[in-house]
Amino acid sequence: MKPLISAHNITVMRGRHALLQNVSLHVGERDFITVVGPNGAGKSTLLKCLLGFHAPDSGTVARADGLKTGYVPQRFTADRAIPISARRFLTLRRKAGDAAVARAADETAVGDVLDKMLYALSDGELQRVLLARALLGDPQLLVLDEPAQNLDISGQLAFYKLLEKIVRERGVSILMVSHDLHLVMASTRRVVCLFHHVCCSGEPHEVAQDPDFIALFGDDMARMMAVYHHVHDHVHERAGVRADDGAGHA
């Protein structure tokens, strides 16, 4: 499968030490990759290289021709000084018709708050509006940088559930930085554990048993993931049934 976006051996220097060292990452169609790692491990830098914000000091980043990406940024506070409604924000620099806006708003359950001011939205609503904006571009790949960071636990659960639904319905690929690994285990197909270099990567339950992962995150995280592994199996099964259905029709 041709990757949508890929990094080959990229190195990014900050001063004298390497923020990223020989990192390679390939995101294919219908991928769901979660990047984990301690603070300052270079996760955001990796995303920014892939998005083309800055070129790596060495290595290459390749994007599929005409790739449409949607970006959902890390937490931010909408400034009260800027009087802009959520609806207007969605259509800034976008030639999106009312129907497209309504559809994206519907998918992300923000239809009721579109006419509120951006700064008046709750954290959860703001995050969903950002997701709606990303979806308006009809992306093949969603890049999310700790999208649920400032939500409470139920807000996080709801957000990841929503993301799962969108993945299911739209078939978009996901590349996400997240600390909430235990919450995204079920949908994540591949975990990349980053600490300046790729420590380990693979399916969530494999990574959870990897000594490198345990060294970085400790036993507790690994055990927590093992607990959620059960949930993962469950969802996997359902996904399997659906896949069989598809095969039956074919």
Partner 1 sequence: MLEDFVLRALAAGVGVALIAGALGCFVVWRRMAYFGDSLAHSALLGVALGLLYGFSVNLGTIVVCSAFAVLLVWLRQKHVLATDTLLGILAHAALSVGVVAVSFLDNTRFDLHGYLFGDILTVTAHDLWWIYGGAVVVLGLLLANWQALTLMTIHEDLARAEGVHTFRMHLLLMFLMTIVVAVFLRIVGILLITSMLIIPAATARQLVRSTGAMAAAAAALGAAAVVAGIFGSIVFDTPSGPSIVAAAALMFAAVFPLSLWVRSRSRAANEAAGPAEPVRRRA
Which chain residues interact with partner 1 by CB under 8 A?
A: 48, 51, 53, 69, 71, 73-74, 76, 78-79, 81-85, 88-89, 92-93, 117-118, 130, 133, 137, 143
Cα–Cα distance between 58 and 225 in angstroms, integer?
34
Q: Which is nearer to partner 1, 65 or 219 (CB)?
A: 65
Edge to edge, what strands does the sheet with 32-36 contain? Answer: 69-72, 141-145, 173-177, 32-36, 190-195, 197-202
Phi/psi of residue 156, nearest 5 degrees: -65, -50
Query: Least CB distance from residue 175 to partner 1, whole Å?
Result: 12
Nearer to partner 1, 115 or 245 (CB): 115
CB of 106: closest distance to partner 1 in angstroms?
Answer: 22
Beta strands 32-36; 173-177: pairing state: parallel
Taking the complex as a whole, the smallest distance from the CB of residue 31 to partner 1 amounts, in Å, to 19
- Taking the least distance from each CB to partner 1, the nearer of 141 and 151 is 141
Min dist CB 200 to partner 1, Å, is 28
Give whichever of 9 and 74 is closer to partner 1, judged by the CB atom: 74
